[in-house]
Structures are given as structure tokens and as C-alpha cells.
Amino acid sequence: MTHNNRAELQAFFDQHGIRDVECIFPDVSGYPRGKLMPAHSFAAGNELRIAQAIPMQCVTGDYSYDPIFPDADPDVRLVPDYRTLKLSPWSSVPRAFTIHDCVELNGEPCAFSARSLLETVVARYTAQGLTPVVAPEIEFYLTAPCMDPAVPLTPPQARNGRAEAGQSAFSMNMLNELAPFWDAFRKALEGLGIQADTWIHEVGTSQYEINLMHGDPLAVADQAFLFKYAAKEIAIQHGLNAVFMAKPIAGDQGSSMHLHQSVVDSAGRNIFSAEDGSETAAFGHFIAGLQTYGPDLMLVFAPFVNSYRRFIAGTQAPVNLAWGYDNRTAGLRIPKSGPAARRVENRIAGADANPYLAIAASLAAGLAGINEKLHPSAPLEEGSNALGKSHGLERSFLPAHERMSNSASARALLGDAFVTGYCAVKAVEYDSYLHEISAWERRFLLPQV
């Protein structure tokens, strides 16, 4: 449904026995927040509001009331995108949901809304007669329930009665071991209109990857948002945890969200390829934009303290923004493809990144490279290994936070108010982290200092 037609909406709700509608939006972490609204009120178009600070709520539940958030904490309106109206596959009773935009009372997009930020970045492309195309690859773990957060996560018991022991990359047997979950999840994705491509068992113990089909950045980000929401809800129904932390299990593989990106013109032609199939200057400029501005945006691609545990030299989690052809050791990989499918794979973002923000940041950097005609570094030579090269990216949270907070480039690309608010949120979360005493500290410091 693409519009607010009261009769059509009510007929849809009556047909499916819908009593309530989840009016949701992604907060700064990509977590679904919102309000539950009676279906008849939604169909009537009743206005829905929420406090302006909610889109920037910390993962701890706290808020950062610094100068960017007025003490009065004014309202914003929740405006539904009727194209996203779907039946909820995780609800115990018939229920619908719709993704909303956060809009200021004066009609301006909320500067702290992740979805609005992505729309703003895409509009820059549209103004130049261009259309970005994105496809994410999302990795996550399925684990046994975690009743005590002080206890490490463990793999779940499979249908063979045992927990997976690991070393099962691309195993079809292990992919089938949790068949009841996968059957329900696949049905949910189909009902949500999420266009999944391939499903694989990844390298980690009970780690999986699902690739989403390429498409419009906003539609793809909506799908990634709902993908994570559905995975968590349906996993719980099957006695599991769906875990999207970047490094959930010590000593095992990290989870990423690789972003494949290309750009087409008004005729649908890939601007990265010339008529003879060769690379264009725009292709190099896009890569250069990611290399130039990516480091200042690292806090978007790696938003939490845990995120930086994934970036370990000697693994395929990239530690720099080198680029190369079909080279998974580089932060920017160019998959082998025909000219029409020429694209840049940004391998920096973790599975914990907000898909709206990660896509927005990557596309904003690439477009800046095109507009400024930036030049990339030389590509890695064939067979060259970037794993052992020096870290070209921040290795921990605090330097990444400081770099983004003080970056004029980040503020130009994502908006001054957003960067101020985002960094304030991240500072609150880090302060909360510092109040926790880790097992490492007890293990080594308790007996020796």
C-alpha cells in the first residue's frame, strides 16, 4: 500500500483481523522503537508523536541531554511510510507494522533520525541524476539462551542432540541442524518482502550469513532493519538467540555487514563502467572517497566498544582501507564481475552497525569522492595480502570517537547536529562501559597487582 486511504487500510485490517499496528522506527543503533496503535486509529490517520530524544536513545536506555537536545525535549511526529505496511510474522496475535520517519513539528526531517539521514544522502545522488544501488551481506550467530550476561555465549543444541563444535564453514548438514528456526525465518522473510539471495553457514561456530538482493538503498536498509528484528523474535520463539554483535564469542570469528555498492545514471547504466567495459574515472573517485573519508566515519561502521574486537591483523576483518580486485584481505574489495555489475564492496562495517547509517556513510563518502574527483591509492597487486599491513583504521573506540567528533568532513557529510548528537550518545555508552569490571581484569589483575 503506497498511500493513506482510510477505507483500504481498514478493509486490510478487517480482512486479517488486525487490532493493533506497530508504529516503529530505527533508533541510532538500528533498534526498533515506537508505539503500538489501535488499527482503527492508524487507518483514520491519527497523528502520532514521540520525544525528539528517542531516536538517539543509548543502548543502555540513557539519553544525552547536552546542548543538542533541548531540556524541554520537544516532540517529533511519526509519519508512516505506507509502502512498508506488513503483517507481523512474530506476533502471537494478528498484528501489522509500519516503518515511520521522524519529522519535526515544522515539517523538517529530524536531524537525529537514521532513516532520514539515509534519505538525505540518497537525495544528493538524485539531484545529480544518479541512483545508488546497495546489497548487504549480514552475518550473525545463533546461540543458546543467555540467562546471565557474565557467562559466555554457547552454541545451541541441534536436532542431533549435540551442540556444534565448529569448523563447519559452508556445511549443509550444520545449516540444516536448526531447520525449524530456518523454516520459520524463511517464511517470515518472504512475508516481509525481504529478498534474500544465498544462505550459508559461516566460519564461526553456529555463525551464518545471508545476502540480501541489491536494490534501492532505503528499501534495502528497511529490509536489513526488519531482517534483524525478525531474526531476534523468531529465534526467541525457538529457544535461541540471534546475535548481531561484531565479536560475540572470544576466539571465534567476528560478524560483518559487507556493503556492495554501485551507481547508475538516469538511463540505468553503471557509471563505474565505460561503453567498452573498462573502468571509468568515477569508479576510482568513488573508491578514493571511501579511502579519504572512511576513517573519519569509522564510529558509524564500528559503533561500540565490542566492534573493535573484530579488527584483528591476520584475519579477513580488514584493518585498513586498501583496495584490490577480488581480494578479501582489503577493506575495499572489487568482486570479479561483468561491466554492468561492477561494484565496490565495503568490508569495514560490522553486523552491529545501524544499516541506515552504515549505508548513508558509505554512500556519502563515495559521492564526495566523485564530486571532488579524488584519486585512490594504487590497488593491491594480484596475490598481495593486506592482512599483515599496518592498521590504517582506528583500533579502538576512543580514538574513533575523537576522530569523528573533531572531523569537519564527517559533519559535512552527515550533518553537524547529527554528528554532535551521535558522538554524545556514544560518550554516554562508553561511560557506562567503564563502570563494568571485566573477566580479564579479575583474571590477571586480582592475583598480580
Does 116 reside within a domain?
no
Among 61, 77, 110, identify where a domain stops: 110
Question: What is this structure's pTM?
Answer: 0.96
Among 51, 78, 110, identify where a domain stops: 110
Q: Which residues in the chain land under pLDDT 70?
A: 1-3, 65-71, 314, 382-391
* Alpha-carbon span 397 to 64, nearest angstrom: 18
* Alpha-carbon span 385 to 211, nearest angstrom: 25
Residue found by looking up cell 538516469 in the block: 266
Provide the number of structural domains found in the chain.
2
Question: What pLDDT is attached to residue 175?
Answer: 82
Question: What pLDDT is attached to residue 255?
Answer: 96
3-state secondary structure of 124: helix
* Alpha-carbon span 349 to 42, nearest angstrom: 36
Among 110, 131, 165, identify where a domain stops: 110
Question: What pLDDT is attached to residue 387?
Answer: 62
Does 282 reside within a domain?
yes
- b/e 269-280 (16+ beta carbons within 10 angstroms → b): ebbbbeeeeeeb
Bridge-partner residues for 101, per DSSP? 79
* Alpha-carbon span 283 to 250, nearest angstrom: 38
276 and 181 in a common domain:
yes
CATH number at residue 277: 3.30.590.10
Question: What pLDDT is attached to residue 316?
Answer: 72
Could you list the beta-strand ranges (E) of 265-343.
323-325, 332-334
pLDDT in tens, 26-82: 999 999 999 999 999 999 999 999 998 899 999 999 887 666 666 678 899 999 999
Domain with 10, as residue range(s), is 6-110
Neighbours of 302 (CB within 10 A): 26
Q: What are phi and psi of 222, to 5 degrees?
A: -60, -40
* Alpha-carbon span 144 to 156, nearest angstrom: 4
Question: What pLDDT is attached to residue 312?
Answer: 80
278 and 157 in a common domain:
yes
